């Protein structure tokens, strides 16, 4: 009975440490950054991988997202959510080339098109930042990105002015 009580106290202590850390991190992010970009992850799919399931379950992705959403509203930050199917790890942040497959063991992204070599996580982060830029429209109302590409697309714009006739 004493061992169960000790174990329960230890689990409670670990839970409280995780909650405190989660609150501190989300508060720091929301206060110190005007724009935060996160991915909408398929956590249930990641939990099916038995090698990483326990670690993912302990992290509490949903709670992190929930706290970040309301704290961004409190502190006036913008929270951008990349769609679930956005290929942030498969796109080259240099040229926009998309790989068909990339395994979890590949920690460095190597582009076959432009030859860029970059850390996989840094590449995904750069792609998420580029995706957050694509949410804005240019002055003429055109989307600055085309077809999910992370590279800017040059488009011809027509200046939109009012046609006021000069007659009496």
pLDDT tens per residue, range 87-126 = 888 888 888 888 888 887 788 888 888 888 888 889 888 8
What does the CA dihedral 143, 148, 154, 159 come to, rounded to 10 degrees? -10
Round to whole Å and give the CA distance between 148 and 69. Answer: 24
- Place 167 in a pLDDT band, splitting at 50, 70 and 90: low
Sign of CA dihedral 17, 19, 23, 26: positive
pLDDT band at 161 (very low <50, low <70, confident <90, very high): low
**Of 39, 141, 44, 144, nearest in space to 90 by CA:** 39
Comparing 7-16, 19-28, 103-112, 157-166, which segment has the lowest mean pLDDT?
A: 157-166
Q: Tell me: the pLDDT tens digits for 26-78?
A: 999 999 999 999 888 888 888 888 888 888 888 888 889 999 999 999 999 99
Q: Which residue did the predictor score with more confidence, 154 or 59?
A: 59
**What secondary structure does DSSP assign to 55-93, as a single string?**
HHHHH-HHHHHHHHHHHHHHHT-EEEEE-TT--TTTB-T
pLDDT value at residue 135: 55
Under 8 Å between Cβ of 80 and 130: no
Mean pLDDT of 8-18: 94
Position 33 scores a pLDDT of 92
Average the pLDDT over each of 5-9, 124-128, 134-138 and give the range with the smallest value: 134-138
Which of 95, 84, 85 shows the shortest CA–CA distance to 130? 95
pLDDT class for 154, splitting at 50, 70, 90? Answer: very low
């Amino acid at each position: 009975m004493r061992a169960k009580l000790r174990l329960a106290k230890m689990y409670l202590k670990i839970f409280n440490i995780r909650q405190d850390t989660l609150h501190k991190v989300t508060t720091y992010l929301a206060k110190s950054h005007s724009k935060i970009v996160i991915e909408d992850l398929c956590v249930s799919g990641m939990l099916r991988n038995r090698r990483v399931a326990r670690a993912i379950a302990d992290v509490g992705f949903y709670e992190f997202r929930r706290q970040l959403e309301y704290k961004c509203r409190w502190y006036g930050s913008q929270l951008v959510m990349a769609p679930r199917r956005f290929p942030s790890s498969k796109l080259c942040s240099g040229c926009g080339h998309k790989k068909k497959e990339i395994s979890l063991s590949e920690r460095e992204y190597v582009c076959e098109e432009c030859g860029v070599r970059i850390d996989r996580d840094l590449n995904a982060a750069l792609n998420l930042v580029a995706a957050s830029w694509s949410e804005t429209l240019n002055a003429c109302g055109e989307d600055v990105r085309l077809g999910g590409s992370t590279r800017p697309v040059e488009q011809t714009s027509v200046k939109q002015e009012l046609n006021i006739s000069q007659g009496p």
